[in-house]
Structure 1
Amino acid sequence: MPQYIAMNRFLVPPENEEAFQRRWLDREVLLKTVPGFISFQFLKGPEKEGGRLYASHTVWASYDAFVGWTQSEQFRQAHAGAGQGKALTAGPPAFEGFTVLQDVSA
């Protein structure tokens, strides 16, 4: 079964960048406890449309493992505070999911 990559892209206004980064970097990471989890990256991208792009990038053993995460207690715990507090992004995240067709490593 091929690996699956799940990404969320965020556009963050300049005045919210520090708080947005802290929200991600200071949280408890529950992904390691979920079957099929391979890796996670929190990415800072270029400036765009008056803000900065950020992305969360998660690699899963399969699409089914990703779906398992979205239906897990860990997912509910990780997203329990979503929507609470000050909005730090310019709109909702943009989700993109990809099935890995080729993976070349060093």
Structure 2
Amino acid sequence: MFVAMNRFRIAIGHEEAFEAVWKGRDSSLSEMPGFVSFHLLRGDSVPEEGYTLFVSNSVWKDKDSFSAWTKSENFRAAHKNAGENRAMYLGPPKFEGFSAVEGA
């Protein structure tokens, strides 16, 4: 199992708009071989730094399945409008990938 996460620092006041972007996009993840699940997670706001933390969390059968997604036409289509919403982001997303060592 491979877990792919992107951490987003979203400017306070733009949380609902950020969520709407994710809810409104057609990612086609479920069509990808090896895809298991996806969650968009909302963390606490950090007022002193001006952002709310979000994490996109996708689970894949293995790292190769995730890698194939990132090279697919579906990936390009899902991310084609990403640059239109720069004002809500405080910097680029931070990717983190994890291979499962143990699980139930």
TM-score by length of 1: 0.90
Identity over aligned pairs, percent: 44
Q: Decide which moves more: 85-94 or 60-69.
A: 85-94
Cα distance between partner residues in 2 of 1:52 and 1:83: 19
- Secondary structure in 1 matching 2:15: helix
CA shift for structure 1 position 50: 2.1
The runs of 5 or more residues in structure 2 that have no matched partner are none
Whose helix fraction is larger, Structure 1's or Structure 2's?
2
- Give the 5 Å matches for 1:2-81: 3-48=1-46, 49-81=49-81
**In terms of mean alpha carbon deviation, does 57-66 or 21-30 score higher?**
21-30
**CA RMSD of the aligned region, Å?**
1.1
- Report the AA paired with residue 26 of structure 1: G
Counterpart residue type for residue 75 of structure 2: F
- Which letter maps to 1:40? F
SS at match of 2:4: strand
Q: Which amino acid aligns with 1:94?
A: K
Please report how far the alpha carbon of residue 15 of structure 1 lies from its aligned counterpart in structure 2 after TM superposition: 1.6
Q: In the alignment, is the contact (CA less than 8 A) between 2:5 and 2:96 conserved in 1?
A: yes
Q: What TM-score results when the alignment is normalised by the length of structure 2?
A: 0.92
Amino acid at match of 1:102: E
Q: Distance in 2 between matches of 1:75 and 1:33?
A: 11
Asked whether the equivalents of residues 2 and 59 of structure 2 are also in contact (C-alpha less than 8 Å), the reply is yes
Could you give the per-residue CA deviations for residues 18-44 of structure 1, whole angstroms, max 9, x where no partner exists? 111111112123100000000000000
Which of 61-70 and 47-56 deviates more?
47-56
Shift of 1:85: 4.2
